[in-house]
Amino acid sequence: MIPSRRSVLLVTVVLLLALLAAFWPGLQWLRDLIAATVAGALLLDLLLHRREPVAEISRELRGSIPVGVWSDVKLQVTNHTGRPQWLTLHDHHPSEYAVEGLPLQLSLSSERTARATYQIRPDQRGDGQFDGVDLVSVSPFGLWQRKQFVTLVDRIKVYPNFRAVSQYTLLATDNHLSQLGIKHQLRRGEGNDFHQLREYRTGDSLRQIDWKATSRYHKLISREYQDERDQQILFLLDCGRRMRHREVDGGHLDQALNSMLLLAYVAAEQGDAVGFHTFGGVKRWFPPVKGGGVVRQMIASTYDIEATLEAADYLEAARELMPLQRRRALIVLVTNTRDEDSDDLVTAVRLLSRRHLVVVADLREQILDTAQADRVSDFDAALRFHGVQEYLECRTQNHEKLRHQGAMPMDLLARQLPVALVNQYLTVKASGRL
Question: pLDDT digits over 70-113, tens only?
Answer: 999 999 999 888 888 888 899 999 988 999 998 988 888 888 88
- In terms of pTM, does the model score above 0.75? no
pLDDT for 187 equals: 43
Question: pLDDT digits over 253-277, tens only?
Answer: 988 998 898 889 888 888 899 999 9
pLDDT for 408 equals: 94
pLDDT for 219 equals: 84
Shortest CA distance to 321 belongs to which of 286, 361, 277, 282? 277
Note whether 57 and 133 are within 8 A (CB).
yes
Note whether 290 and 388 are within 8 A (CB).
no
Shortest CA distance to 66 belongs to which of 125, 11, 135, 26? 125
Q: Say if residue 117's pLDDT is above 80.
A: yes
The rounded radius of gyration (Å) of the Cα atoms in the chain is 34
Give the separation between CA 254 and CA 244, rounded to whole angstroms: 9
Collapsed DSSP state (helix, strand, coil) of residue 65: strand
Which element (helix H / strand E) includes 11?
Answer: helix 5-23
Q: Kindly indicate the confidence band of residue 246, based on its pLDDT and cuts at 50, 70 and 90.
A: confident
Give the separation between CA 318 and CA 278, rounded to whole angstroms: 11
Question: pLDDT digits over 322-372, tens only?
Answer: 999 999 999 999 999 988 888 999 999 999 999 999 999 999 998 888 888
Rounded mean pLDDT of 385-397?
Answer: 88
Distances (CA, A) of 132 to 92, 103, 120, 195, 326: 5, 13, 15, 59, 50
Question: pLDDT digits over 409-434, tens only?
Answer: 999 998 888 888 888 898 888 777 87
Give the separation between CA 52 and CA 78, rounded to whole angstroms: 13
CA 24 to chain centroid, in Å, comes to 73
Question: pLDDT digits over 177-229, tens only?
Answer: 444 454 444 444 445 555 567 787 777 777 778 888 888 888 888 876 655 56
Q: Say if residue 56's pLDDT is above 70.
A: yes
